Structures are given as C-alpha cells and as structure tokens.
Structure 1
C-alpha cells in the first residue's frame, strides 16, 4: 500500500488561498505585514493537512542552517587531512548536515561574514586555532589531535639510540599556526624523554637552498643524529638535501616524517613516517560541532610506519 504524499507548502497555499511566499512568511515567523486573520488561516490549513516545515526552514528560523564550515587555510594537504575531511563529512551527513570547506586566505572578519551569510551551524577553523571567535568550534582539539602525537616518533628514535634530535619546520608563513603547535609539542616530548634541547631546522623547499641550510645547521649542531620533519613533504626535502650533500639516511642522519603519505614507500630511501587515525578524529570533531556526545570508539593510537629512513 502506497504511503500518502507528504503535504507541501504549495498545498497549504492552495488550501488557505494565499501565495507560497505568504505561507513561508507565516510559518517561519516573519509575517509582520500579514493580517492576523490570514496568519490563522494559513496555520489552520497547515494543521489540517499535517504540514511539517522541512529541517532547513526550521534551522533557519532558529538562526542556523545545516551547514558546518571547515577552514583549512595554512594546513598542508595530505593523507591525514583528506582522511579527517572524509570522517568529518561522513559524520555530518549521517546527521543531515553538509560540510563546506574553505581553503583561501580569509581574515577573521571574512570568515565571520561567510558563516553569517550561510547561517552556519558551526565553524571549525584549522587555519588559526587562536582566533577568539564564538563561531569557532573546538578547532584546538582537532589541531591537538593532529599534532599531539609528538611523543610517538620521539620514543621510536630514543629506542634506537638517538639522543640528539632536531625538529624540521617549513619556512612558509601560512603554515605557522600548525607548525608552531607541532614545534612546542615536540620540544615538550623531548624534555619529557630526558633529552637535550631540540633545535629547529627551518627548511625552504628549493633543493639548493635547503641543502645549504642543512649544511649550516649540521655545522652548528654536529651532535644531532635524527630529524623529526613537520610532515612527509618536508621529510622528502630533507632527504633530497641530504643526497645533495652526499649524506645517507639513516647512517648519517635519520629522518622521520608525519602523515604517512602513500608515496612515502616509493622514495629512496623509503620514508619512515607517523600514521594517525585522522578519519576518527574528523568524526569526533563533527559530533562536537553539533553538540553531540563523542562516539564510543576512540581513534587508534598513532604509530610509526617503519621503513628505511629512520
């Protein structure tokens, strides 16, 4: 037996003898210019027909749509970010919400303007967790989840006899929000492990410039035997600069990346990297953005994918 068709705003308009626009105004509480008699006629028709406004209209009446904004300005693309977005998108979709990803350069005001224009339910701003804006929902937690795994590669290197570690960071200003957080956490992890201070190697992406920077860094810090790179891309730059200087990994300098990109195994030497359960982190972020309890399942612990470079 077929289910009766659900009443629509068009049906309510026909039954009450008004336009669909008037029905929309009345049922969304914006009918200041409509007479009380007409309002009551529309409401009565809606009750008789069993009309229920759709979720989007209800959300807009409350001042929020079913859209969640994600700003990824300054966050390098890679396996972890892609998995995070997939988890975030899938969890939001399961609760009838839509994810809108922004990746251009946006000021705090511009981000706020976009959020207001679409009546965003929440904004997750990975571009700058330091923005003290009421629209930003738990961005710091997401950034921590990406970055707070610093103790995993530190412990791995210590177990292999390394005592003097360096932290390789990019020299691109747009990546400084997440890079700065990673740097602080790596320093904290090395201190907790009882290691000497962890100097920072800032590397440009050009091969020649990176090789010269690495040469100068090794002259200044000859005791360093291992480098923890900000991500896999910077680890590749480090390895390329080493090859340019005729240095071997891991014999002369061990290198470990972060992100476990698929092509890490194709590099020579194959890149040792840190893998995180970014999809689960994205699902947790989605539930927090919607004000829902965190899922029962927790993300898998970060782990080192052991290859040849460290």
Structure 2
C-alpha cells in the first residue's frame, strides 16, 4: 500500500522538516501544488531543495500548471530534478483554471489546453535528448529516468483523460470521493487501451485530510477555503475534509478497492505532528 503526503503551503520554512520526517517514515511520495498568483512556494524550486533533504521518498508536483511555464525551461528544470533525485521525481501536470494565473503568465486562458498539447511532445523530445526544434539543439541534462520523469495528468474533463493515453504514464485524481473517482479511473483505462498503450496506467487518488486537535482542523479548512475561493466550491471542498482516523482509513481502503496504486493525503495544515498521526493510523 503506497501512501503519500501532500505538503502544506502556509510556511515554506517548515517544508524541509516535513520532508525529512516523511522520508524517515513509511510514506511513499511528497506532493506539492502549483499556482502562480497565490501565496505558495514555487514547486520546482521547492522540490529541488527537498531532493537534497531526502534520500528515499518520491517527490511530485500535484499538479504543475504547465501552460503558465516556458516549455524549454520546464523541460530543463524537470530533467534536472529527475537527475538530482536519482529518478525520484514525478511530474503531475494539468492546465489549471485560474484566469489570474494565465494573465500573469501572459497566456490566453482559452488556449491553455491546446498549449499543453503542444508542450508535451516538446517535453518528451527534450527528455529523449533530441533537438528541441528547428535551429535549436538538445537541452540537457539527460534525466535519470529513460525518456524523462513519470508524467501523471490531473483533471476531470475528457481532454485531460485523453492526455493520459496520448502522453502520460498515469492519472492523478483529486477532490472526488471513491465512488465518483471509480468512473474516472475506468475512463483512463479505456483511453489507455484505445491508444494501444502497453502495460497499464498508474492511478493515483488524492484526499484532503487534517488529523489532530481542533486548531489543526480549523486551520486546514481555512486554508482550503482560501485556495478554492475562486471556484465557488470552497465550502463544499472544505466540508469534504477527512478529519478522523476512521474516515481516513476508509477512504484509503476504498480508493485501493477501485484500483488506486497510491493514495495522496493532502495536509492543509502545517501541523507537522500530522505525519506521525497519519503513520499510526495507516501503518
């Protein structure tokens, strides 16, 4: 059973300690979200620091908003992370939905999906060591992982599912309970077969958790409402927060029951003692 932790973003100075404690324990992966116009640490820079603070645990973006990033630089940064981590890096990737992120990056929000579709062949080509484009040679360094880091696509729309079959290694499903996530997982598997991909897609589920005293839970709910305030669904997401050992264990069991290879427990409170509480609950 693989269980990962999504890192809180309130206090970046705590993240090294979070990473070291998680690396010393039973957890499989550390995830970090991406936003441009928000008070969060930049994920690729942060994960590069966490690579040096850990030796075992995987690190992933959850998910990186690729369209707001320069493609050539993104190819270089992600290959570097894969190389520095010895292949422990997973690129969770998506298109985002915030207009202010797109405005700040100077891209058209209406083209963000098409932009990601254009970025993926360039990323794959670069990771294989091929010339980036006409008049442009290869961009190094070569990643440790042959062909580049593992790529998981996040999202809910059919286009996001289709990208798993076209470009990805798997799917990262967030913010849905297991009974609804099951349909997305089956759709991913169908798209995988449609594109005649070998093996099977890796399926990762994410659940929002806060385990600890009332102050920890309240802070997590505030942070969720702040982060999802733009969506009109902030209260709904906050109400879905899992806050007891029983509900967390059940969610993990149910996600595994529908075929999840890994469950990411996103911790919205910086209370670092949650690492031990979650380990005691699940292992």
Q: TM-score, normalised by structure 1?
A: 0.22
Which structure has the larger Rg over C-alpha atoms? 1
Q: TM-score scaled by structure 2?
A: 0.24
